[in-house]
Structure 1
Amino acid sequence: MISTIKNSFITFLSLTVLFSCSKDFLELKPTDAIEENEVFTNYNNARAALIGAYDQLSSPNFGGLYNPIMSDIMGEDLMINSVDNWNWFTQVYQMNVLPTYTYVDAPWWSGYKLAYDVNKIVENAQSIPGASQEEMNELEGQARALRAYVHLKLVQMYSQAYKRNPNALSIMEADRILGIDEEDLGRSTVQNTYEFIASDLLKSLELLTDLDQDEFDQGFFSKRGAYALLARTYLDIGEWEMARDYAQMAHKDLDLMSINDMYAGFMFRNSETIYAIAYTQEDNNIYLSLPSFYWPVAGYSSMRANDKFVEKFSNDDARAGFFLMEPEIDENRHLILKFGHNAVVGNAERIVIRASEMHLIEAECEAELGNYSKAQDALYLIQSRSYPGVRKSTNTGQELIDEILLERRKELFGEGFRWNDIKRRQLPFVREGNHWVKFNFTSNDPDYYRMTFPIPQSEIDANSNISEADQNEGY
């Protein structure tokens, strides 16, 4: 499939998003399309290319729906309901996907299409006629951050965990535009892929303008966004000091959401938003959207919470209000009230990175480093926001780490983290309670292959450097 993308041209979509990074950067008026040979002839066209690349993230096949939904139902806390699910995501919830399935193929296709499009920006940004050095740097820096974001999601989905085997086959590193006669890219190693992601983000930090939070549109990657992605990257590979340091830089001076903000439906940006996928009325995915699957009415409304997960919330925890038993809608499982519609069905921005996640990364890293008091403080900050009467933890060692990981589940459910959290730490996978498909296996069991997606058959068929022998274990 990657072979068919090599000479793809960039589609530049019309947007109504404004970007306030500087006085005039990316304040783009809606346009139709730009011919490929005109893209890098001037700065306005080049910045339209960047906005077109960002707009691809709102696709339901990638960040707009598939990634966050699948990353939670391949866990133990949430599920697709067993009835009235219109067969959406059922094979993913059952952890019974095949290399030919759309859920495997579509994110891969969408991710690499975006990676190849931003490669054109990376390769041409520094030679745009009439652009200032700051403008060229901003274009390249954001393109590199986007490329890193895509590769990080792909490596989490299609590769073994770094902790399991850093030398295992990973994804392809789409680090340049390939000519039609060039050799296809083969699979890199897990370690090399993470090094590539980190290097892109570190380079983006050199290029991006250092702006205050209120000077930047969170629909685009700022330096703060690059810090957050580096924190995620180093967390995946167990580089605790690096992950902690970048998490602290990412959440610095950000106020956490209030309880009222949390109850507002997670449908638009707030004080702790670091990066959000921006939707407009024009590209609202309607029924193929996050609120369509989560909100109890007006959409597919098929996401449910496991009873054993709901039991982990104290009645005094405001987040317990995200769950509702309503027999007239579902007499067996908890509805989820975390993600609402904004005015019309399916319309809502998706908050992709927020400060609470960064504080929890800090807590996990400090605990791993043996700095238990600092870990307890970071954990308490998140716990006390939604549960003011909670006592600060006195746990240490593995008990403290387990408490922090549980808090990640409570705070970040539905936001697309649980699958990777289980996998990156090689945790046991146990579904119990009212799950309609149950599992119980550890990282030493053969079934653990289910935690990694197969390489799409379409890629194997199209790529001369990837064969059936290179397919992931279990497929």
Structure 2
Amino acid sequence: MFFIGCSDLELEPEGSVFTEKQKEELTKVAPERLQAEVNGLYSGLIKYASISDWYGSTRHYDFGYAAAGLMFDASGQDMPSENSGYNWFRNSMRYTDRTAPSEITYFLWNLFYSHMKTANDILFTIPSDTSDPLLKAYRGQALASRAFDYLHLVQIYQFTYKGHENAPAVPIVTEETTPEQAANNPRATVQQVYDLIMKDLDEAINLLEGFSRTGKEMINQNVAYGLRARANLNMEKWNEAAADAEKAMVGFSPYTIQQVSKPSFNDINATSWIWGSDVSETNDIVQSGILNFPSMICSLTGNGYSPGYAGRYINQALWKSIPTSDVRKGWWTEPVWGKDEDGEDVIVDYKTPLVDMTWTTTYNNVEYGIIDWFGWNAPYLNVKFGPYQDQYNNPTNACDLPLMRVEEMILIRAEALAMGGNTSTGKQVLENFIKTYRDPSYICPVNDAKGIQDEVWKQRRIELWGEGFSLFDVKRLKKPILRKGINYPAPFSYDLPAEAPILLWLLPEDEINTNEAIDEATNNPVIAVPSV
């Protein structure tokens, strides 16, 4: 467990705790140190080798929040991938990481609680009643960051809010938690965690009023509204979710059809990105070569596991449901059919209108086409995420990472309006978005609230594919996992019922060993790995 201590800011006073006067003096004499802590909120999301000391070596999924998103998506039904030892997200796909000693659950726990510790350090230092505009902005960013962490933790280690309000979630650690309290800190209920999330976001939104950020890697009021929209959606507070999503959208516009008619989603400067990680060429995850998001998901990178060793594909049934008039159908390759020597139908090639299929490169005097060079192994392979600087075969994986896009907020608003009783407006919001920005021929096929909710879910599965939302959506909507009869590797081609216990990660063994209030009996249950 990560608790707050005054020494964390390397400015410990003579006493064992800060007085209010000492806190006030600290904020005056050490603004640079506070700025460094705030910067740490964002660098912590793209941290390289965070668990290397714990594990004893560097795991190739250890590159921050984007890896967590891939773990979530691998655990669902929309991102099939190879059953290969080179697939660093295979354990999440086959659910073998749902144990207390699992390195994956330790990685997830460490990712969010370490990030939260940075937020708590800042909150410990800045008085809640500060009137200084800069300190208010720092405090607002820290509160929203902590809410971001808990919003993930509560969904990783428990089922959705509705119907599970009193279920055990995760321990709550704030800037006021002492080491003694952290050592005996039981799992708070889902309701208690959401109460803190909402309290933090309410204050953050107030503190960030008028704050003008210098880069979209920073949290501003739009981002805080977007995070609260997500929380309200989970709690089925429909009117509040719709209102927050609308406020989060102000100043942003979706990718146009033309902009997503090529591999994209790699540049924080896109008008649709409300919040993202700004990744530089000198960042450790880039300098590592292949321990980064593009290495694992981009099918056009010149340096990575994807696609030759572990491609990321879409659920073929979902892909087939996308109309040909929808530009997003080209975000994944389609099979080209021919006949084998016996006259049987076989896949002979792959294609997509988004990629220049005439591209070639020469190596050792041999010319290679795009499929052979990059190792495209099967149809339905994603080309949604473009390579760095949109340059095919670029070995530098310095692509930025989307954390919140305006398209997500539009879809939240459409669902929330419909479920909140305003079905016609919700349907219109959905139709306007899809027709204007994705498929000019689109007509929402349903009129009732539940039907619109399911249609929005389908659009989320397509639009937000690969961005870490799919598992949480399945849990929120209490949907089954359906993998049979589609393009999953045979050992993982099984279905799971809604709220299958295997979907929950277990709290890590290290937490059990250091927190007296948590043991095997109070952890999530150990469930046998599913089989065909």
TM-score (norm 1): 0.87
Helix, strand or coil at the partner of 2:396? coil
Are the equivalent residues in 1 in contact too, given 2:264–2:385 (CA < 8 A)?
yes
SS at 1:351 equivalent: strand
1:439 equivalent in alignment to 2:494: yes
Larger Rg: 2
The Cα of 1:393 is off from its aligned counterpart by 4.2
SS for the counterpart of 1:274 is strand
Letter paired with 2:209: T
> Percent identical across equivalent pairs?
25
Q: Does 1:141 align with 2:196?
A: no
1:88 CA drift (Å)? 0.8
Question: Alpha-carbon deviation of 1:132?
Answer: 6.8
Confirm or deny: 8 A CA contact 1:158 1:171 kept in the other structure: yes
Amino acid at match of 1:67: A
How far apart, in 2, do the equivalents of 1:63 and 1:356 lie? 23
Return the alpha-carbon distance in structure 1 between the equivalents of residues 295 and 263 of structure 2: 16
Q: How many Å apart are 1:35 and its aligned residue?
A: 4.3
8 Å CA contact retained: 2:87, 2:305? no
How far is 1:189 from its partner? Answer: 0.1
Q: Which runs of 4+ in 1 moved over 6 A?
A: none
Q: Letter of the aligned partner of 2:31 in structure 1?
A: Y
Q: What is the TM-score normalised by the length of structure 2?
A: 0.78
Shift of the 9–57 alpha-carbon distance from structure 1 to 2, 3 Å rule, reads: farther
**Worse-superposed segment, 247-256 or 140-149:** 247-256
Superposed CA offset, 1:271-298 (max 9, x none): 1211101222222513122211111243
The aligned runs of 1:164-179 (5 Å cut-off) are 164-179=163-178
**The residue matched to 2:118 in structure 1 has which SS?**
helix
Task: Write the mapping of 1:390-409 to structure 2, written as runs, cut at 5 A.
Answer: 390-409=442-461
| Equivalent in 322, 334, 342 of residue 388 of structure 2 | 342
Counterpart contact for 1:295–1:341, Cα < 8 Å? yes
Q: Which residues of structure 2 form unaligned runs of 5+? A: 14-25, 49-61, 335-349, 351-370, 390-394, 528-532
Task: Classify 1:124/1:403 alpha carbon distance in 2 versus 1 (closer, same or farther; 3 Å).
Answer: same
1:43 aligns with 2:31: yes
CA offset at residue 63 of structure 1? Answer: 4.6
User: Match for residue 17 of structure 1?
Assistant: none
Corresponding residue to 2:477 among 402, 411, 425: 425
Residue 281 (structure 2) aligns with: 281
Distance 1:320 1:421 in 2: 21
Shift of 1:338: 1.4
* 1:143-162 pair list within 5 angstroms: 143-162=142-161
Helix, strand or coil at the partner of 2:402: strand
Which amino acid in the other structure matches residue 426 of structure 2? A
- Give 1:429's aligned amino acid: I
Aligned Cα RMSD in Å? 2.4
Q: Report the Cα distance in structure 2 between the residues aligned to 1:8 and 1:340, rounded to whole angstroms.
A: 44
Distance 1:469 1:8, change over 3 A: farther
Give the drift of 1:178: 3.5
Q: Which amino acid aligns with 1:346?
A: N
Amino acid of the residue matched to residue 291 of structure 2? L
Q: Which residue of 1 aligns with 2:247?
A: 249
2:315 and 2:487 in contact (8 A); partners too: yes
Q: Are 1:53 and 1:114, in contact at CA under 8 Å, matched by a contact in 2? A: yes
Instruction: Return 380-389 or 324-333, whichever deviates more.
Output: 324-333
After superposition, where does 1:308-347 map in structure 2 within 5 Å? 308-325=317-334, 326=350, 328=372, 329-343=375-389, 344-347=395-398
Asked whether the equivalents of residues 424 and 447 of structure 2 are also in contact (C-alpha less than 8 Å), the reply is no
1:381 equivalent to 2:384? Answer no
Distance, in Å, in 2 between the alignment partners of 1:421 and 1:93 is 16
- Asked if structure 2 preserves the Cα contact closer than 8 Å seen for 1:62 and 1:106, the reply is no
The answer as to whether partners of 1:236 and 1:424 remain within 8 angstroms in 2 is yes
**Aligned to 1:352, which of 403, 407, 429?**
403
Q: What is the count of residue pairs matched by the alignment?
A: 442
